[in-house]
């Protein structure tokens, strides 16, 4: 055997190389955006594997989002020149912890098939407890309690560890309700997101022998976006790295944007104390962005007092200035962005090259900003993907359908059962539900069993009785089909295929899902619904069944949905990305749009209301994160009017716009826009003064405004009135055009293809849009063509 190929080291600069080759002992890499921290971390994984220091499953690598984890996996594979067999411990804190917790659930009194509750379920549960405690839910909202509990969990505090002072918040009952909530979760065999880490920290603290096993097992630990870890995550890492101390953390204090969720930048400073002798690597060359983009970002972040301070430079010399554009309202902004994207995609923008839709991203401060872009792009048939924010899986019909799947997979999931018991209507009113709850509680069983007892003991009458009895019979049938399916499916995928062939009664999870939705009457419910949104909901349900194709069984799918932060379903064709600034951390795009830079939106109203500068500084870091995502072109925009929670508001351009270094910014007038001098200015100055009368001095307000208005010269341009009129007329959309329509069945038998999960394979059969593919390493699978890419593209 020849020496291992270490060519991936050649593309690193000396500082990065040092970080990669210092394999043993603690390493901290602290550096600004785009300096190649993630690149170095990835090379380090490749180097660990390549030098035989560790096998893939002995490396623990945590990143911040699922998307980042996926990218890192792909990058490692690319560096190594081949797919890595199993890197099971590369993921988010949550995804790694859920895997560990399933192994050791019994140590915290859970069963290994526990459910992961989302915020909605969590709130519902807390409401019940608050009501039961006899406090007024209106004065003491469940959301507030949820926030308190989260913050305790983020700090790894179990109910026993919460301080008396804090515990007495929420009308004196905070910690008591927290304890009750934890008990309820146990009986439901469920956890919330915070529990995933809290339970693992508890387990490791209590079971030293188990901890030691894992300390030996995970030979090397790597952490990206370290500045955003919270205390619980930090403790967990410290416990796991406590033996060999082979831990490498990379981060940037200027990009710490999760303070509101309990992240502590202090963890960076603590690192050197907890891991004495740590090698600290600093990187200063930015390889991502052009000089203007970098300078504009630096000029904004310079406004923060509380920073370690780092120098950044780039060797590049060319490039466009950051563009600044003002619009009449949010719809106009979306329309303009859509046109820009089409022009750049078509390659018709002067001085600019042609861009793929995948190259372009819209990064919003608040997810409600997405709707305008989604609507606009739908109407002009511009393909887009939404990552994070209000997602597909949060839509009502999807949540209903998944509640059915949840009960089938996990009968203890009472919240899911409550959701479906009278959806569609089965004549089960509040009274009947209460009777079932009482039956369950007094017999110490879950609601499904409680319902059984209620039917058997005659507690339910008439329609409720027959309705519940029917549902129970359905559930039993689906559950038994699901159990068979898991028996054959999970252990050995090929066996599933064979068994289907031998036993015609055996069905796969996709058919099972379809049956559940049909037999429960849920699909019929929407078919009979005359509301205009009903057809869309049916479409979504179809989409849901489609999504199942990527999984082996319902349970695997449910776990996936609980964990994902994006709904990017498949790789079919190029798409513009829409996501939040928070979700974009660590990513990069040639072209970035940053809409909605307005006071109250960005910086957010809440951060401005907070006393002190902490909130504002975090917003400013977010602005820095946003600008530094751009490689070649960054466009910042704002609107003079915006509908916020159903009400029109006049907006002031963001203070961050003031902070941009003027020499790096071009003020661009939107096409077709002129302006009527002063009209807008007067309009907005009035509102500005009114809105900020309380928090800003009157003397300051107009002048601040005027400066912004002058800079964003939209208010002085000659077509402003025209535009106003048009906006009021509600300009009719252009006829739809189709960009890059996807040719689904462009495959022929014998084609080489690639699938994200199964790797390379060959098309054996084609049936409509479904392909039978023989994969080189994962057997034969039937997949929807949209999820498969032609190989070598």
CB within 8 A of 264, min separation 6: which ones? 229, 230, 231, 234
**Under rule CB under 5 A, which residues in 559-588 are in contact with Mg ion?**
586
Residue 37 or 376 having the CB closest to Mg ion: 37
* Residue among 38, 63, 233, 314 flagged as catalytic: 38
Closest CA to 251 of 294, 215, 222: 222
Q: Annotation-wise, does 461 bind a ligand?
A: no
Q: Annotation-wise, does 454 bind a ligand?
A: no
Smallest gap from residue 252 Cβ to ligand ATP (A): 5
Residue 224 or 664 having the CB closest to Mg ion: 224
**In angstroms, how far is CA 195 from the centroid of its own chain?**
18
Q: Do residues 326 and 715 touch, judged by C-beta distance below 8 A?
A: yes
Residue 72 or 125 having the CB closest to ligand ATP: 72
Instruction: Point out which span in 34-42, 381-389, 460-468, 755-763 binds Mg ion (CB under 5 A).
Output: 34-42
Should residue 38 be labelled a site residue for Mg ion when binding is judged by CB under 5 A? yes
Should residue 36 be labelled a site residue for Mg ion when binding is judged by CB under 5 A? no
Selection from ligand ATP, Mg ion, none that 287 binds (CB < 5 to 8 A by kind) is ligand ATP
Q: Indicate if the alpha-carbon torsion angle 23, 214, 211, 94 is positive or negative.
A: positive
Interface with ligand ATP (CB under 6 A)? 11-13, 16, 31, 33-39, 252, 255, 287-288, 586, 588, 628
Smallest gap from residue 88 Cβ to ligand ATP (A): 23
Selection from Mg ion, ligand ATP, none that 253 binds (CB < 5 to 8 A by kind) is none
Q: How far is CA 739 from CA 335, 342, 357, 369, 378, in A?
A: 16, 9, 10, 23, 12
Q: Is 224 a catalytic residue?
A: yes
Q: What is the DSSP string of 52-67?
A: TS--GGGEEEEESSHH
Helix (H) or strand (E) holding 332: helix 330-346
Q: DSSP state, 424?
A: S
Smallest gap from residue 154 Cβ to ligand ATP (A): 22
Q: Annotation-wise, does 711 bind a ligand?
A: no
Q: Is 725 a catalytic residue?
A: no
Smallest gap from residue 250 Cβ to Mg ion (A): 7
**Under rule CB under 5 A, which residues in 584-643 are in contact with Mg ion?**
586
Residue 81 or 718 having the CB closest to ligand ATP: 81
Q: Annotation-wise, does 36 bind a ligand?
A: yes
Task: Give the C-alpha separation, 123 to 234, whole Å.
Answer: 27
Selection from ligand ATP, Mg ion, none that 452 binds (CB < 5 to 8 A by kind) is none
* CA angle in degrees (0–180, nearest 5) for 176-177-181: 120
Smallest gap from residue 659 Cβ to Mg ion (A): 24
* Residue among 629, 655, 708, 781 flagged as catalytic: 629
Q: Is 38 a catalytic residue?
A: yes
Closest CA to 223 of 54, 423, 61: 61
Strand partners, 27: 248, 279
Smallest gap from residue 118 Cβ to ligand ATP (A): 27
Q: Annotation-wise, does 35 bind a ligand?
A: yes
* Residue among 16, 37, 215, 385 flagged as catalytic: 37
CB atoms under 10 Å from CB of 113, counted, come to 15
Q: Is 629 a catalytic residue?
A: yes
Q: DSSP state, 600?
A: B
DSSP, collapsed to helix, strand or coil, labels residue 607 as: helix
Residue 165 or 309 having the CB closest to ligand ATP: 309
Q: Is 255 a catalytic residue?
A: yes
DSSP, collapsed to helix, strand or coil, labels residue 628 as: coil
Closest CA to 315 of 293, 289, 339, 354: 289
Residue 17 or 176 having the CB closest to Mg ion: 17
- Tokens encoding 497: 């295929």
Smallest gap from residue 785 Cβ to ligand ATP (A): 31
Task: Give the C-alpha separation, 36 to 562, whole Å.
Answer: 31
Of all residues in this chain, which one has the CB nearest to ligand ATP in the complex? 36
By the 10 Å C-beta count (0-12 exposed, 13-18 middle, 19+ buried), 462 is classed as: exposed
Instruction: Point out which span in 29-37, 155-163, 310-318, 486-494 binds Mg ion (CB under 5 A).
Output: 29-37
User: What is the per-residue burial (b if ≥16 Cβ within 10 Å, else e) of 433-459?
Assistant: bebbbebbeeeebbbbbbbbbbbeeeb
Selection from ligand ATP, Mg ion, none that 288 binds (CB < 5 to 8 A by kind) is ligand ATP
Task: Give the C-alpha separation, 146 to 193, whole Å.
Answer: 11
Selection from ligand ATP, Mg ion, none that 36 binds (CB < 5 to 8 A by kind) is ligand ATP
* CA angle in degrees (0–180, nearest 5) for 330-332-337: 95
* Residue among 121, 150, 192, 225 flagged as catalytic: 225
Selection from ligand ATP, Mg ion, none that 35 binds (CB < 5 to 8 A by kind) is ligand ATP
Selection from ligand ATP, Mg ion, none that 345 binds (CB < 5 to 8 A by kind) is none
Smallest gap from residue 250 Cβ to ligand ATP (A): 7
Q: For the chain, report the end-to-end CA distance as a whole number of angstroms.
A: 31
Of all residues in this chain, which one has the CB nearest to Mg ion in the complex? 38
Strand partners, 494: none
Should residue 229 be labelled a site residue for Mg ion when binding is judged by CB under 5 A? no
CB atoms under 10 Å from CB of 642, counted, come to 22
* Residue among 92, 122, 255, 290 flagged as catalytic: 255
Residue 31 or 295 having the CB closest to ligand ATP: 31
Q: Do residues 202 and 152 touch, judged by C-beta distance below 8 A?
A: no
Closest CA to 95 of 561, 626, 691: 561
* Residue among 192, 224, 333, 619 flagged as catalytic: 224
Q: Annotation-wise, does 31 bind a ligand?
A: yes
Selection from ligand ATP, Mg ion, none that 39 binds (CB < 5 to 8 A by kind) is ligand ATP
Task: Give the C-alpha separation, 694 to 248, whole Å.
Answer: 48
Residue 334 or 623 having the CB closest to Mg ion: 623
Residue 13 or 569 having the CB closest to ligand ATP: 13
Smallest gap from residue 16 Cβ to Mg ion (A): 12
Annotated binding site for ATP: 31-38
Active-site residue list: 37-38, 224-225, 255, 629
The footprint of Mg ion (CB under 5 A) covers 37-38, 586
Binding residues: 31-38
């Amino acid at each position: 055997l020849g020496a291992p190929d270490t060519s991936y080291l050649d593309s690193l600069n000396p500082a990065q190389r040092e970080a990669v080759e210092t394999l043993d002992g603690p390493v901290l890499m602290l550096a600004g955006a785009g300096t190649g921290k993630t690149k170095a971390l990835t090379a380090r994984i490749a180097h660990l594997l390549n030098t035989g220091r560790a096998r893939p499953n002995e490396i623990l690598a945590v990143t911040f989002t699922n998307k980042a984890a996926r990218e890192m996996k792909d990058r490692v594979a690319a560096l190594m020149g081949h797919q890595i067999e199993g890197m099971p411990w590369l993921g988010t804190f949550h995804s790694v912890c859920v895997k560990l917790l399933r192994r050791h659930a019994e140590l915290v009194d859970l069963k290994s098939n526990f459910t992961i509750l989302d915020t909605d379920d969590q709130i519902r549960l807390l409401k019940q407890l608050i009501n039961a405690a006899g406090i007024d839910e209106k004065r003491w909202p469940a959301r507030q309690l949820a926030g308190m509990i989260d913050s305790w969990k983020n700090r790894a505090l179990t109910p026993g560890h919460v301080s008396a002072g804090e515990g007495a918040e929420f009308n004196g009952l905070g910690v008591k309700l927290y304890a009750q909530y934890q008990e309820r979760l146990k009986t439901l065999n469920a956890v919330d997101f915070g529990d995933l880490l809290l339970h693992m920290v508890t387990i490791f603290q209590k079971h030293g022998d188990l901890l030691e096993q894992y300390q030996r097992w995970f030979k090397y630990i790597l952490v990206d976006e370290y500045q955003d870890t919270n205390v619980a995550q930090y403790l967990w890492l410290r416990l796991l790295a406590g033996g060999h101390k082979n831990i490498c953390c990379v981060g940037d204090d200027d990009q710490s944007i999760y303070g509101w969720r309990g992240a502590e930048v202090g963890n960076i400073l603590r690192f050197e104390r907890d891991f004495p002798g740590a090698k600290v690597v600093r990187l200063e060359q930015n390889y991502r962005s052009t000089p203007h983009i970098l300078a504009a970002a630096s000029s904004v972040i310079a406004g923060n007092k509380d920073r370690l301070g780092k120098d950044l430079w780039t060797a590049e010399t060319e490039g466009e200035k950051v563009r600044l554009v003002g619009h009449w309202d949010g719809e106009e902004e979306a329309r303009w962005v859509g046109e820009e994207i089409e022009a750049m995609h078509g390659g018709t923008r002067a001085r600019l090259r042609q861009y793929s839709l995948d190259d372009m991203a819209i990064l919003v401060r608040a997810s409600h900003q997405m709707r305008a872009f989604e609507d606009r792009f739908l109407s002009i048939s511009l393909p887009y993907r939404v990552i994070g924010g209000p997602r597909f899986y949060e839509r009502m019909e999807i949540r209903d359908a998944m509640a059915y799947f949840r009960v089938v997979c996990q009968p203890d999931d009472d919240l899911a059962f409550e959701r479906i018991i009278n959806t569609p209507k089965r004549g089960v009113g509040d009274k009947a539900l209460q009777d079932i709850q009482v039956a369950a509680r007094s017999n110490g069983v879950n609601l499904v069993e409680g319902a059984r007892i209620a039917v058997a003991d005659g507690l339910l009458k008439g329609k409720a009785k027959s309705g519940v009895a029917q549902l129970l019979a359905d559930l039993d049938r689906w559950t038994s089909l699901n159990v068979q399916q898991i028996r054959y499916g999970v252990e050995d995928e090929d066996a599933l295929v064979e068994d289907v062939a031998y036993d015609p009664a055996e069905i796969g999870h996709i058919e099972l899902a379809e049956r559940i939705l049909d037999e429960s009457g849920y699909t019929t419910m929407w078919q009979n619904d005359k509301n205009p949104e009903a057809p869309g909901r049916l479409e979504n349900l179809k989409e849901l069944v489609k999504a199942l194709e990527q999984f082996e069984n319902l349970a695997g799918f449910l776990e996936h949905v609980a964990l994902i932060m994006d709904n990017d379903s498949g790789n079919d064709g190029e798409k513009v990305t829409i996501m939040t600034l928070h979700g974009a951390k660590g990513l990069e795009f040639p072209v970035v749009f940053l809409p909605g830079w307005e006071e109250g939106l960005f910086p957010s109203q809440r951060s401005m209301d907070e006393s002190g500068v902490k909130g504002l500084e975090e917003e400013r870091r977010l602005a820095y994160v946003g600008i530094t995502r751009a490689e070649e072109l960054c466009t910042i925009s704002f609107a003079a009017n915006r509908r916020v929670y159903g009400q029109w508001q006049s907006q002031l351009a963001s203070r961050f716009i003031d902070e941009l270094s003027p020499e790096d910014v071009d003020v661009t007038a939107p096409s077709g826009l002129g302006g009527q001098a002063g009209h807008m200015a007067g309009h907005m100055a009035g509102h500005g003064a009114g809105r900020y009368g309380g928090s800003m001095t009157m003397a300051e307000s107009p002048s601040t405004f005027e400066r912004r208005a002058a800079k964003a010269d939209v208010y002085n341009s000659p077509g402003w009135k025209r535009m106003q009129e048009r906006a009021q007329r509600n300009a009719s959309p252009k006829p739809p055009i189709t960009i890059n329509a996807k040719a689904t069945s462009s495959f022929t038998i014998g084609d080489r293809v690639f699938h994200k999960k199964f790797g390379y394979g060959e098309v054996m059969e084609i049936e409509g849009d479904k392909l039978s593919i023989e994969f080189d390493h994962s057997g034969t699978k039937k997949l929807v063509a949209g999820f498969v890419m032609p190989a070598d593209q």
